[in-house]
Amino acid sequence: MHRPEMQIRLAHVDDLPKLIAISEAAGAAAHWSGQQWLDVFESEGPARLALIAWDEDEDGVRAGFLVAQVGAADWELENVAVGREFRRRGIGRELIAALLAYARAGNAERILLEVRASNEGAIRLYKGSGFQILARREGYYRDPDEDALVMVHTF
């Protein structure tokens, strides 16, 4: 039986309810306020790239998302999550690959991110996508307090 490919597209403001639901269900994702989410689409602040993934087998159910701040040379991966029921299907890897393609097309020199030092799954995902550990920020995260690893992907 043929399994349809994962679909990834630019997210729109109409996707906000699903983006928020995926974020809230994903324990390791950054939990943003409604206004922070709205700012992704409507702020005049830093430009953002928001991607949403879904699986055709799941009747268009949104499976994951990624949000990155778009700069000239430096981009920053701000938030990424995959719904619990969709994990271990390569969705995170595909979202990161899409980000890398957009960044490369935008002439980015590097992408930076912070990740909880205990988030071994995310660290493996990022390393497998070509990110390297650059530094450690002590006490960066709260609830619970934890260090962050700063990772970088260079082009």
From 85, 114, 138, 141, the catalytic residue: 114
- pLDDT greater than 70 at residue 7: yes
Annotated catalytic, 126?
yes
- pLDDT greater than 80 at residue 61: no
By the 10 Å C-beta count (0-12 exposed, 13-18 middle, 19+ buried), 96 is classed as: buried
Average pLDDT over residues 50-56: 85
At residue 66 the predicted structure's pLDDT band, cuts being 50, 70 and 90, is very high
Average pLDDT over residues 63-77: 95
What letter does residue 89 receive in the DSSP assignment?
S
- pLDDT greater than 80 at residue 113: yes
From 42, 85, 126, 146, the catalytic residue: 126
Average pLDDT over residues 65-77: 96
Annotated catalytic, 141?
no
Contact status, residue 136 vs residue 118, Cβ threshold 8 Å: no
Q: What is the rounded CA–CA span in Å between residue 14 and residue 40?
A: 12
- pLDDT greater than 50 at residue 2: no
pTM over 0.75: yes
Question: Which residue segments constitute the domains of the chain, with CATH numbers given?
Answer: 6-154 (3.40.630.30)
